[in-house]
Amino acid sequence: MPEGRLIADKMAKCLTVFLVGAAGVVLFLIGIGLLVKAEPILGAKSLGDLLFSSNWRPFRGEFGFFPFIMGTAWVTAVAVVLAVPFSVLTALYLSEYAHRRIRAVAAPMVDLLAGIPSVVFGIWGVLAVVPMVRSLAMDVFGIPCTGYSVLTAGIVLALMVCPIVIHVTLEVLRAVPNDVRDVSLALGATKWQTTKLVVLRKALPGIGAAVIMGVSRAFGETMAVLMVAGNVVRAPDSLFSPAYPLPALIANNYGEMLSIPMYDAALMLAALMLFVVVVVFNAAAKLVLQHLAKGVQ
């Protein structure tokens, strides 16, 4: 009878360790899977051609990803530029200044914001942001604009990126030991001087990691940008021009994927591009955070 549970234990060990290994490997499996599916187009065209050409005519077999890459870049840049200052300032406030009760209310609200699905952000974007940007462009600047633009997508994305930057920054700030703050105060510094000169200084690499994770999130976001970015196949040249980010490209065209030769490989390549960039960014951010957690200054 005792044998039974010992056997069960051994089996459980094999199973779980195997699954742990599998979990580690899934990342590579996905990468390889995408690569395999994208292979036809990678073999047929040069990488330079794919990345830098603006000719997107799938019917003719021309796949220049430049407009989409630029679209993604512009929208991500706007989102990050908008999100980072607000996020870091909010995190600083909640961590260093806010009364315990305010923090108890605000922190869950930030987490709730993180849970709102992409479509809902998109729909709100269509409802509230598009008209605002349209009137901003046309009434204030006199630029023709439908309202579906880089700026619109950037604003919506910024709100989606804030929660993650705030969350990670809060954790990093919490990890700064209190005695360093006390020392600064004891030398006669004001709270702000302490925050600026000591706390931020110690937390800076961690905040960098938080920003990188935010960039990553903005990069791969699909539904919300699909609904507000405009989806015109042309690299954007101003904040008010429409953009066609890579995720939107994939989402919009999966229907035609199988009817045009090499179209599926092209879209898989787009997915692969997103995958590689996000993995590199996230891995870098994680490494920085791990390094910090080990207590190296």
Partner 1 sequence: MDTKTHISVRNLNVHYKESHALRNINIDIPDKKITVILGPSGCGKSTLLKCFNRLIDTVEDVKVTGQVLVDGEDLFSPDAEVTHIRKKMGLLSQRPVPLPMSIYDNVAYGPRLHGLRKRAALDAIVEKHLKMASLWDEVEGRLHEPASKLSIGQQQRLCLARGLAVGPEIILGDEPTSALDPKSSRHIEQRFLELKNEYTIVIVTHILRQAKRLADYVVFLYLGELIEHGPAQEMFENPKEEMTREYMKGIIS
Partner 2 sequence: MKKFDMRKLEENFFKILMIGSCVIVTGSLALILWSILRRGLPAMSLDMVSSVPKGGFYMGGEGGILNAIVGSLLLASGASVLAFLLSLPVSIGLNVYLRRGSRLASFARFSLDVLNGVPSIVYGAFGFALMLFFGLKASLLAGIITVALLILPIMCRAMDEVFQMVPKDMMDVSHSLGATRLQAALSVLTRQALPGITTAILISFGRGIGDAASVLFTAGYSDNLPSSVLSPVASLPLAIFFQLGTPVPEVQDRAYASALILTTMILLLSIGARVASRKLSRNIIK
Among 15, 183, 276, 287, contact with partner 1 (rule: CB under 8 A): 183
β-pairing, 56-57 with 62-63?
antiparallel
Residue number, 15 or 81, with CB nearest to partner 2: 15
User: What length is written for the chain?
Assistant: 297
CA angle 104, 105, 108 (to 5 degrees): 90
Binders of partner 2 among residues 103 to 162 (CB under 8 A) are 106, 108-113, 115-124, 126-128, 159, 162
Q: Does 100 bind partner 1 (CB under 8 A)?
A: yes
Q: Does 101 bind partner 1 (CB under 8 A)?
A: no
CA angle 261, 267, 269 (to 5 degrees): 105
CB of 107 to partner 1, least distance (A): 17
By rule CB under 8 A, what string of x and - marks binding of each residue 71-100 to partner 2? --------------xxx-xx-xxx--xx--
Residue given tokens 């599998």 in the structure block = 22
User: CA-CA distance, 77 to 158, in Å (whole number)?
Assistant: 10
Size, binding site for partner 2 by CB under 8 A: 84
Residues 109, 112, 114, 120, Cα dihedral to 10°: -120
Size, binding site for partner 1 by CB under 8 A: 19
Residue number, 102 or 183, with CB nearest to partner 2: 102
Among 193, 238, 286, 293, contact with partner 1 (rule: CB under 8 A): 193
CA distances from 195 to 22, 107, 110, 180, 199 (A): 44, 20, 22, 10, 5
Binders of partner 2 among residues 188 to 227 (CB under 8 A) are 190-193, 196, 213, 216-217, 219-223, 227
With H, G, I as helix, E, B as strand and everything else as coil, classify residue 56.
Answer: strand
Per CB under 8 A, residues contacting partner 1 are 100, 179-190, 193, 197-198, 201-202, 297
